[in-house]
Amino acid sequence: MFNLDPDITRQPPPNLEPKRPEGKSRVWGWLLLVLMAVLVFFFLRALRQVRIEVAQLSRQTEEMNRRLSEVEQRSQTEAQQAAQAAQSAQAAAHQRDQADAARTESQNQAQKAQQQAAVAKQEASQAEQTAEQYRQQREQELTHLKDVLGHIADTRRTVNGLVVTLGSNSIRFDFDKSDIKPQYREILSRIAGVLMSVEGYSISVYGYTDDVGTADYNLKLSEKRAQAVHDFLVESGLDPKIITTKGYGKSDPRVPGDSAAARATNRRVEIGIVDTTIRLAGTSN
């Protein structure tokens, strides 16, 4: 039996691992630090580049959003303008249609007016021809009336018609008298008969005196003489509505002078006969 020493048996077993060199560990540590620093540098650089790119992207996004907003606003503006243009075009088309309708209506009215004017012109021409024929007929009647009355008393033609003078060669008025003597009534009756046979005439009876006496007295005397002839014509059957009277006194003598013959000639009554139909027709034209 071997005697073993208890101290020897209690000692730990010897370290069998080989010892590493201390210098190499440090090198590898530095290399690891450098590698980590390089990695951190590139990581930070890459992170910075990413941030720059993100900022650029953000600016580009903002620019795109701004442009997009401008495009949208422009689109809205153009859409509004297009809508307004469409409304304006529609209104213009409506106005054009109204203008076309108005022009067509105006042309129709103008054509109608031309037709009416042509008809009116033709009617006016016919009316003028008819009026001219009527004037010629009335002129012939007036000429015939002058010839007939001229065989009874002194009758002359005037612009307005005829004037029959009842003077010393047909009816004599005594000095300062206005009554019609019986021997002259037949002449007035014949004149009244002729005047009753015609239509469309107005009759004016004018009285005159000689130059003896005052103007006021002679004016009243001339009115009495005109009224006496008026009354006789009415009694003979003439319409009193077509007869008027007026006195001129000693004005407008037919014969100048103060001889008895001249004064007898100036003491007279004149009957004016006017064709009212021709006068009214001339007035209307």
Q: 167 lies in which domain range? A: 134-284
Taking residues 195-210, report their average pLDDT.
Answer: 92
Band (285; pLDDT cuts 50, 70, 90): very low
Closest of 161, 237, 226 to residue 200, by C-alpha? 161
Q: Bin 171: left if φ > 0, else alpha if -120 < ψ < 50, else beta.
A: beta
Cα 33 to Cα 22, 39, 54, 201, 284: the distances in Å are 17, 10, 30, 150, 133
Q: Is the separation of the CB atoms in 246 and 223 below 8 Å? A: yes
Interatomic CA distance for residues 265 and 255, integer angstroms: 7
Q: What is the pLDDT of residues 86-113, one digit of tens each?
A: 788 788 788 888 888 888 888 888 888 8
Q: What is the pLDDT of residues 251-273, one digit of tens each?
A: 989 888 889 889 888 999 999 99
Interatomic CA distance for residues 18 and 180, integer angstroms: 195
pLDDT of 151:
92
pLDDT of 106:
82
User: Which residues have CB under 8 Å from 269's CB, separation 6+?
Assistant: 166, 171, 173, 205, 206, 207, 208, 225, 226, 228, 229
Question: Looking at the domain assignment, is residue 86 inside a domain?
Answer: no
Question: Looking at the domain assignment, is residue 266 inside a domain?
Answer: yes
Count structural domains, the chain: 1
Window from 85-94, 137-146, 207-216, 238-247 with minimum mean pLDDT = 85-94
Q: What's the whole-number average pLDDT of the chain?
A: 84
Question: Looking at the domain assignment, is residue 26 inside a domain?
Answer: no
> 235: domain CATH number?
3.30.1330.60
User: Which residues have CB under 8 Å from 144's CB, separation 6+?
Assistant: none
Question: Looking at the domain assignment, is residue 253 inside a domain?
Answer: yes
Question: Looking at the domain assignment, is residue 15 inside a domain?
Answer: no
Question: Looking at the domain assignment, is residue 95 inside a domain?
Answer: no
Q: Is the pLDDT of residue 284 over 80?
A: no
Taking residues 144-152, report their average pLDDT.
Answer: 92
Asked whether the whole model's pTM tops 0.75, one would answer no
Question: Looking at the domain assignment, is residue 233 inside a domain?
Answer: yes
Band (17; pLDDT cuts 50, 70, 90): low
Q: Is the pLDDT of residue 249 over 90?
A: yes
Question: Looking at the domain assignment, is residue 107 inside a domain?
Answer: no
Interatomic CA distance for residues 256 and 261, integer angstroms: 10
Cα 230 to Cα 96, 154, 233: the distances in Å are 74, 18, 5
Q: Is the pLDDT of residue 224 over 90?
A: yes
Paired tokens of 63: 């620019």
Band (2; pLDDT cuts 50, 70, 90): very low
